[in-house]
Amino acid sequence: MLKEINAVLAGFGGQGILFMGKMMAYSGLIDNRELSWLPSYGPEMRGGTCNCSVCLSDEPVCSPLVTAPNVLVAMNRPSYDKFVNTLVPGGILIYDSSLIDVEVERKDIEVYAVPATQLADEKGYKGMANIILLGKLLKVTEFTTMDTMKKTIEKVVPARKQHLIPKNVEAVELGYNA
Amino acid sequence: MSERVLMKGNEALAEAAIRAGCHHFFGYPITPQTELAAYMAKRMPKIGGTYLQAESEVAAINMVQGAAAAGIRAMTSSSSPGIALKLEGISYMCGSDLPAVIINVQRGGPGLGGIQPSQADYNLATKAPGHGDAHILVLAPSSVQEMVDLVAKAFDLADTYRMPAMILADGMLGQMMEPVVLPEEGHAREIEKPWAACGHHGQRKHNIVNSLYLQASELNEIVKKRFERYAKIEETEALAENYMTEDAEYIVTAFGATARIAKAAVREARKEGIKAGLIRPVTLWPFPKADFVKAAETAKAFLSVEMSMGEMVNDVRLAVECKKPVYFYGETGGVIPTPAQVLEQIRKIAGGAE
């Protein structure tokens, strides 16, 4: 388990990047840890690039803006290109290999390629590639427990969409085992 | 103790204001503070308060002035260009000795500038909050929790000293989410306002709230008396966080969001054996001079880090009376300095001063 997570999550607007970050943040809240969640809030729109910084720690968070992440989740090529070299040596890269066709050149990082969008489409979780990647992130970094993750899903899924809770749990598990 | 909840800075400011007894909000939308107004729009009708989106920033601040004159806790919020428009009203409130809270979630300027975080309104807030001889209280939170805590403090100080108070935040603090513990509802301090124009019911002489004094000698006297009050505030209300300053040779100073980045750099510098420390002014007016005077006794040099071209740095120079070198490092226009960049500056100063 990573003691301190300084994560950058990045992709297209509309892929649920900020929501994925919020899930991490809420898990930290439930686990009673220190945390921060900082979105990029430029003139961004659906289809544009979008990213957020998430810090999880047992100590108060210093800089909420993550410029040297130890975890990067990339959901499109521009985000991969922009952030891959900011990862600290030994950092963890998780990317959607169905959207990013790339040979990862860095040899000093841990790389996990998950065809999340393809998995989502094939297994009936359309639009939930972000949640699948979150499952992988959970497996690799153990930023929280599966139990907390389930509680997190119950907390963040709005009341009028309660029927989506099991779907989200399944998507996390799908990524976890991918 | 209340439960920890996750909130955006802007929303936390709004909820904290409500819990501080502010039930009247007058605003005008502008990025990056819009969530604050949106939150007020949702909450105020439920508690029987007022949420009013004015026709302009100027109108909003004048509504605050009217509400404040009636003795109730009122607030407005905006971001840099909008705050510039409010300055006329703020000056009138200073001249009328009216308390209110103004939130400034700063963005890059000048002009329309950009929408990313900035701290370039430091001079505006601490030196020239409108025309005339006047000060306002300026509080600079550096976390979402502190945003909550300082809103209540701002209302209390404003009411106590009968003057406007500004929360000087920035786009980063406004947009980020952190866990906060909110104060219980219904525990706001109530400070008596016998001067308020709220109806005398034939029981007393009517109160007048006014900033117009055509007799020069009368205005001279009123302003001088107000400055006696300012002097008392400077003596008693200045506040700063000192981090690892006891044995520090190099004092980094920064406020708000930038202070967190500076703190990360100070920690890294310590790991490298550089004796660095951080002074984080919490009140920008009154400026915590005493903390700098004390640090200047032992420190070799100071470094002010800001999201501007260098504004607070001048107050640091004044505070240490140029007895020690005061360096500056800043990024502006919405660019946020990184801990690595600040560390590089600390190394440079430490290397050069050795």
DSSP-assigned letters across all residues of B238-278: --EEEES-TT-SEEEE--HHHHHHHHHHHHHHHHTT--EEE
Contact A61 B260 (CB under 8 A): yes
C-alpha span between A159 and A169 (Å, rounded): 16
Q: Residue A47 pLDDT > 50, yes or no?
A: yes
Q: How far from each other are the two terminal CA atoms of chain A, in whole angstroms? A: 19
Torsion sign across C-alpha atoms A159, A160, A166, A169: negative
Q: Helix, strand or coil for residue B279? A: strand
Half-sphere exposure of residue B228, counting CA atoms within 13 Å on the CB side? Answer: 5
- Start-end of CATH 3.40.50.920 domains in chain B: 241-353
Report how far residue A29's alpha carbon sits from residue B163's, in angstroms, rounded to the nearest whole number.
Answer: 38
The owner of tokens 């930038």 is B258
**Nearest CA to CA, how far is A20 from chain B (Å)?**
14
Distance from CA of B172 to the nearest CA of A (A): 7
Q: Does A65 touch chain B (CB under 8 A)?
A: yes
User: What values do phi and psi take at B109, rounded to 5?
Assistant: -140, -170
CATH 3.40.50.970 placement within chain B: 4-236
Binned at pLDDT 50, 70 and 90, residue A46 comes out as low
Topology (CATH) of A5-176: Pyruvate-ferredoxin Oxidoreductase; domain 3 (3.40.920)
- Provide the 3-class DSSP secondary structure of residue B83: helix
DSSP states of B116-158 as a string?
Answer: SB--TTHHHHHH-SSSSS---EEE---SHHHHHHHHHHHHHHH
Contacts of A70 (CB under 8 A, 6+ apart): A2, A4, A5, A6, A7, A87, A88, A90, A91, A92
Note whether A22 and B177 are within 8 A (CB). yes
Q: What's the pLDDT tens digit per position in B39-52? A: 999 999 999 999 99
Instruction: Determine contact: B5 vs chain A, CB below 8 A.
Output: yes
Please state the separation of Cα B105 from the chain's center in Å.
9
Which of B31, B176, B263 has its CB closest to that of A38? Answer: B176
Q: Which residues of B touch A41 (CB under 8 A)?
A: 31-32, 115-116, 171, 175
Please state which CATH number belongs to domain B4-236. 3.40.50.970
The rounded distance, in Å, linking the Cα atoms of A72 and A120 is: 20
Fold of B241-353: Rossmann fold (3.40.50)
pLDDT tens for each residue of B248-272: 999 999 999 999 999 999 999 999 9
Q: B307-336 pLDDT, tens per residue?
A: 999 999 999 999 999 999 999 999 999 999
In angstroms, rounded to a whole number, what is the distance separating the alpha carbons of residues B63 and B24?
Answer: 10
Task: Say which of B6, B257, B263 has its CB closest to residue A25.
Answer: B6
Q: Between chains, do A63 and B32 touch, taking CB under 8 Å as contact?
A: no
Q: Which residue of A has its CA nearest to B268?
A: A62
Cβ-based contacts of A37 with chain B (< 8 Å): 6, 176-178
Q: Give all strands (DSSP E) within chain A, no chain letters.
A: 5-12, 34-39, 49-57, 71-74, 92-96, 110-114
Distance of CA B254 to CAs B154, B200, B342, Å? Answer: 20, 47, 11
Give φ, ψ of B88 to 5 degrees: -60, -50
Mean pLDDT over the full length of chain B: 96
Q: How far is CA B293 from CA B1, B91, B136, B324, in A?
A: 37, 31, 23, 10
The amino acid occupying position A60 is: P
> Mean pLDDT over residues B55-84, rounded?
98
Confidence category of residue B234, pLDDT binned at 50, 70, 90: very high
- The whole-number pLDDT of residue B354 equals 46
DSSP for residue B338: P
Peptide bond into B183 cis (omega under 30): no
Q: pLDDT category, B136, cuts 50, 70, 90?
A: very high
The domain segmentation of chain A, as residue ranges, is 5-176
